[in-house]
Amino acid sequence: MTDRGLIDVHQHLIPQVYIDRLATVGVMGSGEHPWPNCDVGKALDLMDRTGITTAFTSISSPGLYFGDVAFTRRLARECNVAMAELVRNRPDRFGAFAALPLPDVDAALRELEYALDVLKLDGVNLVTHVAHRYMGHPEEAELYAELDRRRAAVFVHPVRPNLDGLAPLSYSTGLTELVFDTTRAIANMLFTGTLARFPNIRFIMPHAGGVTPFLLFRLSGQDTNPRMRDKIPEGVAAYMRRFYYDVAQSAAPLSLRALSEVAEPDRIVFGTDYPFALTREKVVYDTIAGVRDYGGYDAAQRRKVERDNALALFPRLAAG
């Protein structure tokens, strides 16, 4: 592949089979919004116009589980096959993260093996919570152990929490609740000891880690909690530095400065959230401008964020 251009780890070119299957259970969009246009040709045109060499796709909110594990198993396989076809047709332009049929851990392990070993997808996509269980739940330990053994790249994406019983908000819940859910997942992985037990998983946290960078002082207070010593033996900040973070919908100077207090530039990757961001194409232009205009990166650090860190995560791109 060319040695220039951005690598976007956070796009959602949702397969048509996903949209069709969710319609059968009454889900017609993500949250309050209908599905965006996920046309591959349109995405490629936008990538060409904005200098994005390669984009990684994954399933977004609301995920795959709607109360029927058989439905979820089938949907995961169909989505993975569809995404694998996209990558196979244009391996230079696309990568993909496999969907897993949680909460069925045994099925998730089987799908993980098929997706990575047979379909050759680039990594795994986990959502922040499934069936009332947040990431790091003890019942999913066997899955994390296998991800750790494989040194898998795991792209995390939030899903909306259950807000039943609350008066309707006056705005799209995704504006706040998705980043809050990412924060909950990070905290739960910290304080269940998941990050200490499985240090080889290469987690990519979306949206600059939610609001976690702003909570580092508060979370780090648990470093001296005797009940947490075996969960975070190296301290919260050390585990936070191990994550990769994308800058999707987070490329404002204040957000990038906060993120720089948590992560070195070699742990930050470019992402846009196209086409699920409410501003659609505009989010791509704005994110590129935000990263390039940010004064906290020198030229070498900016190149790391824009592409080199992703090349290190996904060496097939460099080899191609």
Three-state secondary-structure class, residue 5: coil
> What is the number of helices (H) and of strands (E) in the chain?
14, 12
What is the rounded CA–CA span in Å between residue 82 and residue 75?
Answer: 11
Q: Which two tokens stand for residue 91?
A: 């391996």
Beta carbons of 100 and 108 less than 8 angstroms apart: yes
Q: Over pLDDT 90: what percentage of the chain?
A: 92
pLDDT tens column, 51-77: 999 999 999 999 999 999 999 999 999
Taking each helix axis as running N to C, give the angle between helix 16-23 and helix 69-89, from 0 to 180 degrees, rounded to the nearest 10. Answer: 160
What the chain holds in terms of domains, given with CATH numbers, is 6-319 (3.20.20.140)
Q: Would the pTM count as exceeding 0.85? A: yes
What is the rounded CA–CA span in Å between residue 320 and residue 317?
Answer: 5
Residue with tokens 């796709």: 57
Question: pLDDT class for 320, splitting at 50, 70, 90?
Answer: low
Q: What is the pLDDT of residue 2?
A: 45
What is the rounded CA–CA span in Å between residue 313 and residue 117?
Answer: 17
Q: Which of 98, 143, 153 is nearest to 120 (CA)?
A: 98
- pLDDT for 1 beyond 50: no
